[in-house]
Structure 1
Amino acid sequence: MPSPASSDAFLPYDPLNQPKQVAGDLWIIDGHEVRMRSFGLRIPFPTRMTVVRLPDGGLWIHSPVAPDEALFEAIERLGAVSHLVAPNTLHWSYIADWRKRFPRAVVYIAPGLEARVDVPRTNLMDTAEPAWSAAIDQRVVGGPVLTEAVFFHRASRTLILTDLIENFEPERVRSCVWRCALCLSGAADPDGKAPIDMQLSFLGHRKHLRAMVRQMIDWAPQRIVLSHGRWYEDDGVAELQRAFRWIL
């Protein structure tokens, strides 16, 4: 469960909590830093959510960040929120806050979150939901540590990932100790990927993950949006082949 950071470990991706248009009908919002409690430590992460306007005009929101009133109002100017997505078993904390503001939105969760998300919800499957299949493809991969749904917005050729690739920029890290830890984890720009502990967690699930990576490559994304760190504006296929060379 993340908690708001008392002091930022990363230089923020300003402006925060404001929609930034990436492509037609697709925006990102860089949120405030959070700290995840793990192994007795509070590990800092910059956050990012993605918004897609579907063909029917409804908004599809991926991994919503910690909200405030200004952010809610900015989202409302884009359209009516129809879908709220908790895309993996680590990204769910603010779903209830967003559902409270947008009670007509349908909540979708990664398998494994049933006991944590205390609002009406639907489990994500390994095929696209009928509500957005006309615009977005999806797959789900599971492991003992992480289950994640990945999404491909066809019109903009944008792949939307959460934690399967992390790409922290060392020059944005204020602490030299944390900068070294990120580099050792394997999740540092320009060679961002799943950190080594996550890679090891997929040892018994490599076949399924490899098949999903090949599907992502077949989608031929132009860009890849990530939840943590620098995202990829171009050369999406090459970045996938590089970031997942440990599984291909």
Structure 2
Amino acid sequence: MALSTGELLIHNPFILEEKDLAELKALGKVVGILVPNAFHGDETAWLSEKFPEAKVFVPRAIEAKARKKYRVNGSFENDWPADWRKDVECLPLEGMRLLHESVFFHKASRTLVVTDFVFNMKPEDFSKNFERTLMAWNRVGTGFGTSWLCDKVFTRDDAARKRSVEKILAWDFDRVVMNHGHVVENGGKAMMTASLST
């Protein structure tokens, strides 16, 4: 995500090929690395070494554990920089255990960025029948929406989660980028509203 300064925030750390790393560096200075939830931080150590000046932010619930594995500058809940907030809003999702996900709203592009809170995958995205069956059971292989795990296992406080959903839907986004599935280029807010209202 690009800040108005031209600096960059990297969402969901990952290992890059050297040519991709060079292209990323050419786009602008990386000032932030965002570990979006408890399940997507395994490659943070590698990426943070490539960008030693970037600040690394994690969910507060995993901060102590994360510090044993890689450099951490703070949590989304306590330390989200005010100068980033004018470009990117950060919302830690309430009412959900284990996942501890934060979602982000990039204002200039009107983009909502999520990791595991919603998926947008189709049966043809899976090459094996077993994969299609498993994903369909988890409600992530048939289109846009939240997973069964997200709704039934991770969610422990429906009222708190609803408050987070209301905050998300108050943002003026149109595009939705998620970790799993196809980017929604247009109409994302309507899709989120329909999905999260059921």
Provide TM-score, normalisation by structure 1: 0.73
Listed as ranges, the matches of 1:28-43 within 5 Å are: none
Alpha-carbon distance in 2 for matches of 1:120, 1:146: 18
Q: Report if the CA contact (8 A) 1:86-1:108 is conserved.
A: yes
Q: Which residue of 1 aligns with 2:42?
A: 93
Q: Which residue of 2 aligns with 1:19?
A: none
Q: Which residue of 2 aligns with 1:13?
A: none
Q: Does 1:79 align with 2:24?
A: no
- Say which SS state the counterpart of residue 234 (structure 1) adopts: coil
Listed as ranges, the matches of 1:60-71 within 5 Å are: 60-71=9-20
Q: Which residue of 2 aligns with 1:26?
A: none
CA RMSD in angstroms, aligned pairs only: 1.7
Q: Which residue of 2 aligns with 1:239?
A: 191
Listed as ranges, the matches of 1:137-156 within 5 Å are: 137-142=89-94, 143-156=96-109
More displaced 10-residue stretch of structure 1: 222-231 or 106-115 = 106-115
Q: Report if the CA contact (8 A) 2:92-2:102 is conserved.
A: yes
Q: Which residue of 2 aligns with 1:220?
A: 172
Q: Show structure 1 runs of 4+ deviating over 4 A.
A: none
* 1:129 CA displacement: 2.8
Q: Report if the CA contact (8 A) 2:44-2:70 is conserved.
A: no
What amino acid sits opposite 2:109 in the alignment?
Answer: S
- Say which SS state the counterpart of residue 170 (structure 2) adopts: helix
Q: Which residue of 1 aligns with 2:54?
A: 105
* Identity level (%): 24
- Which is bigger in relative contact order (C-alpha 8 A, separation at least 6)? 2
Q: 1:137 to 1:126 in 2, by over 3 A?
A: farther
* 1:169 CA displacement: 2.1
Q: Report if the CA contact (8 A) 1:145-1:198 is conserved.
A: no
Q: Which residue of 2 aligns with 1:124?
A: 76
What amino acid sits opposite 1:162 in the alignment?
Answer: T
Structure 2's unaligned 5+ residue stretches are none
From 121, 127, 131, the equivalent of 1:168 is 121
From 147, 163, 170, the equivalent of 1:195 is 147
Alpha-carbon distance in 2 for matches of 1:196, 1:106: 33
Q: Deviations over 1:127-180 (max 9, x none)?
A: 953141110112112422211111111111111111000122211211011111
What amino acid sits opposite 1:183 in the alignment?
Answer: A
From 157, 160, 163, the equivalent of 1:205 is 157
- Say which SS state the counterpart of residue 147 (structure 1) adopts: coil
Alpha-carbon distance in 1 for matches of 2:47, 2:59: 17
Alpha-carbon distance in 2 for matches of 1:59, 1:240: 26
Alpha-carbon distance in 2 for matches of 1:81, 1:240: 29
Aligned residues: 194
Alpha-carbon distance in 2 for matches of 1:119, 1:64: 13
Q: Report if the CA contact (8 A) 1:127-1:137 is conserved.
A: no
Listed as ranges, the matches of 1:51-66 within 5 Å are: 52-66=1-15
Alpha-carbon distance in 2 for matches of 1:120, 1:127: 11
Q: 1:131 to 1:54 in 2, by over 3 A?
A: same
Q: Report if the CA contact (8 A) 1:67-1:97 is conserved.
A: no
Alpha-carbon distance in 2 for matches of 1:214, 1:188: 25
* 1:203 CA displacement: 4.4
Structure 1's unaligned 5+ residue stretches are 1-51
| Structure having the larger proportion of residues in helix | 2
Q: Which residue of 2 aligns with 1:22?
A: none
